[in-house]
Amino acid sequence: MTLTFLASFCVTSLLVGHVTGVTSRDYAPCTGLAYIFNGYTFTFDAASGERVWSHCSFPSPFGDLIRCGRPRSDKKRFLCDPDHILDRVADVPLIDELLETIQKRTSVVCVNSAGIRETFRVAVALINRIYIPDMDSPDLCQNECGRLQPALNISRRIPTEEEQEEIMRLFADGIRSLWDIGSCGNDVIVLYCKEFHKVHVSSGSKASEYLTPEKVATLQTTFQTYISTHGTQGFVLGLENLLKSLKFTLKGITPAFILLMGNMAVLGVMTVVLFYYILGKRFETNIWEDDNCYWVWELFVKCSTGILWLEICVLVMAKISHSSRALFYVFLAAVLGLIFCTALHYVSRRIYYHE
């Protein structure tokens, strides 16, 4: 009885170790002709005729648009949907736009070998069915492609929640390694499996600094909530919310964020100063007993709020309006303003949006 208990405990511990975050290197390599990698991507379910996907040789949206369910002329290359889960025409552009926005609106984290600055990159893979290994098998092993063998006979039992999580992790990590969309661990893969109604977020080393295990767990749990609450349409809403959350999380502390916080601090100080100035003028005698102090405070408030510059502009416009060359000066000011705004827009995009 004692030996039986110890054996059961060891097997259970091994299984829990596999499904709670250990890397794929902890699985024994497969041996024998039955487990040789044959370049497979999917197999067909004999009963339903559906494709059952493996991450081995899974199509890439960067080089195999047709197999990813995308038009050949498509330029959006961060979504692979071979089973056409996004069946509504409006859903695909929405997800494409969110993925493109993440690349443009997150921090530059490294420079690749071609000298191009890279931000965080997120790609999405959507599948109906997933290959399920038998995690309880005493012969469990990992072949040269990274797929676990042997397959589970689902007519006998279904995989547990923990096994599903591990299967999704292996699949997502496999795709991330296969697609290789980042140069410094700045890549994130979002995998959705309709069979499990689950989503898994796999992140590279750099992205993991922002996407902590707790944050990833929150993202995945929130996605499940959308599925449970909104049914079929909840998938699109959940995916949209997840991608927006990823964009916010991966932004980090950018120059734009620092500038925004600095502006808010300045506005806060200016509000206090303005309030003090207005309140101080209510007294007949100021605390400094000097009437000129109000002129100093008034000048400071006008300069800091931009009112002084508006007054100067009005005075200059009034001055040149009486000049014989007024039309020329107005045209020159408009051209200079256009050039300045265009240059400011270009520089801001180069600095903050990394284009």
C-alpha 130/C-alpha 315 separation (Å) is 72
Residue 107's alpha-carbon distances to 97, 110, 165, 248, 293, in angstroms, are: 18, 9, 30, 11, 46
pLDDT in tens, the chain (355 residues): 333 333 333 333 333 333 333 344 478 988 887 778 878 888 888 788 889 999 998 999 888 888 898 877 667 679 999 999 987 666 888 898 999 989 888 878 888 888 888 889 999 999 999 999 999 899 899 988 888 989 898 888 899 999 999 999 999 999 999 999 988 999 999 999 999 989 999 999 999 999 999 999 999 999 999 988 887 678 889 999 999 999 988 886 555 566 667 777 777 776 776 666 666 555 544 554 555 556 666 677 677 666 777 777 777 777 776 766 767 777 787 788 888 888 877 776 665 444 4
Q: What does the angle CA 321 – CA 340 – CA 306 come to, to the nearest 5 degrees?
A: 65
Alpha helices in the chain (DSSP H): 2-18, 91-105, 161-179, 205-208, 213-230, 232-251, 255-280, 293-305, 307-320, 326-348
Tracing tokens 């409006």 back to the chain, one arrives at: 90
Residue ranges matching CATH 3.10.310.50 in the chain: 2-251
Strands 117-118 and 42-44: unpaired
The packing angle between helices 232-251 and 213-230, to 10°, is 160
Tracing tokens 């400071």 back to the chain, one arrives at: 300
Fold of 2-251: Diaminopimelate Epimerase; Chain A, domain 1 (3.10.310)
Considering just the CA atoms, what is the radius of gyration of the chain in Å?
Answer: 30
Strands 148-149 and 141-142: antiparallel
| pLDDT score, position 4 | 36
Helices and strands counted in the chain (H then E): 10, 11
Number of CB atoms found within 10 A of residue 224's CB: 15
pTM over 0.75: no
3-state SS assignment for residue 55: coil
| 5 alpha carbon, distance to own chain's centre | 46
